[in-house]
Amino acid sequence: VCYIAPMNTPDLDGYIKDGNHHMKVRVYFEDTDFSGVVYHANYLRFMERARTNYLRLLGTDHRSLFEDTTSEALGFTFVVRSMTLDFFKPSHMDDVLDIVTSPVEVKGASITLRQQCKRGENLLVEAKVRVAFVSGGKAQRIPSALRELMEVRA
């Protein structure tokens, strides 16, 4: 798995500002359920995309550090170990959502992220997500280069 973007695509990847990753998502009909609101499990998909893009941008913004990581732990990836989700308000067709991702804790082999789904100033969903660093099929210590990248912002 390689998170390094082949090209710079800010419209797709979102951006990092003050240590938080922001990504916009438009709600389409396919995202809603029979009652017309976004189906709750689809927020998990939006958040997964945001985490992927956050890592992608860390890679492009700090390419040299990220290359240290990939040489230290070849074919690394993050797997979700636990999630806590609070659903406060619904969202609907055509809404533009902002998915905000922030690292809150970096441990030996896992990282805890806070992810918020907002519509304007309204907080719709908040999640705490613990992801484990996996390389060669096993949980591994997070390489120092990657740890530094996230710790700066945590």
Write down the least CB distance from residue 98 to another protein, Å. Answer: 21
**CB-nearer residue toward another protein: 38 or 149:** 38
Q: Please report where in the chains the tokens 């979700």 appear, as a residue.
A: 80
- Residue span binding another protein (CB under 8 A) among the ranges 13-21, 22-30, 33-41, 62-70: 33-41
Q: x/- string (CB under 8 A) for another protein, residues 66-95?
A: -------------xxxxxxxxx--x-----
What gap in Å lies between CA 47 and CA 15, rounded to an integer? 14
**CB-nearer residue toward another protein: 64 or 84:** 84
Q: Which of 135, 56, 141, 71 is nearest to 107 (CA)?
A: 141
68 is catalytic: no
Residues 16-26 as b or e (16 or more Cβ within 10 Å = b) = beeeebbbebe
What gap in Å lies between CA 51 and CA 31, rounded to an integer? 19
Write down the least CB distance from residue 75 to another protein, Å. Answer: 17
**Catalytic one among 13, 18, 31, 33?**
33
Q: Are 68 and 145 in contact (CB under 8 A)?
A: yes
Give me the residues that bind another protein (CB under 8 A), please. 35, 40-41, 79-87, 90
